[in-house]
Amino acid sequence: MKTVNYIKIEIPSKSTNEGLARSIAACFAAQLDPTLEEIGDIKTAVSEAVTNSIVHAYPDEIGKISIRGRIFDDNTLEIVVQDWGRGIKDIEQAMEPMFTTGGDDRSGMGFTIMESFMDKLKVKSAEGKGTTVTMRRRLSFRTGTKR
């Protein structure tokens, strides 16, 4: 696949920036002429990834979160959310539905939601070094649209 377009931004891990990250992802994906459902799915998946970084990677401090996006020539959108926080001790366990390290107010459904709204989800992490979440979604080609 060939990259057609890309973005890279960095935000502080403040909860107020979660909405910004959702909007940026939606605006970037808009060039693929997605359906409203596709946009909603992308926004939700990005929201979950960024919220995980805010809540779990940097629970006691403000750190940085990188959001990178790429569009490929087959109408695939890739969004990568990366932090340099605590990292995940056991990725397999963290990806289990209902598992959380964020306390009673967290649902433990973040990775499950990302997985259900995107075609591919890859999580890489190292304790003390951070986490990288890579999500891909191939969007439908709509009649009469060109990039």
Domains and CATH numbers, the chain: 3-138 (3.30.565.10)
Q: What would the two tokens of residue 16 be?
A: 């107020």
CA dist 115 and 94 (Å) reads 13
Helix (H, G, I), strand (E, B) or coil at 69: strand
Nearest in space to 118 (alpha carbons), one of 99, 137, 133, 103: 137
- Which residues, other chains included, contact 144 with Cβ-Cβ below 8 Å and sequence gap of 6+? none
> Quick check: helix, strand or coil at residue 52?
helix
Quick one: tokens of 93?
Answer: 């366990």
What's the pLDDT score for residue 69?
Answer: 98
Q: How far apart are CA 44 and CA 5, in angstroms?
A: 22
Q: pLDDT confidence of 127, banded at 50, 70, 90?
A: very high
- The answer to whether residues 86 and 75 touch, using CB atoms and an 8 Å cutoff, is no
pLDDT band at 109 (very low <50, low <70, confident <90, very high): low
pLDDT at 140 (0 to 100): 84
What pLDDT was estimated at residue 98? 52
Catalytic residue among 48, 78, 86, 137: 48
d(CA 39, CA 37): 5
**Paired strand residues for 83:** 65, 131
107 pLDDT exceeds 90? no
Mean pLDDT of the 103-108 span: 52
106 noted as active-site residue? yes
State whether residue 92 is helix, strand or coil.
Answer: helix
Annotated active-site residue in 106, 115, 136, 138: 106
Q: pLDDT higher for 94 or 87? A: 87
**Candidates 18, 22, 38, 52; catalytic one:** 52
Structure tokens at 63: 């750190």
Virtual torsion, Cα 53, 56, 57, 60, nearest 10 deg: 120
Q: Answer yes or no: is pLDDT of 5 > 90.
A: yes
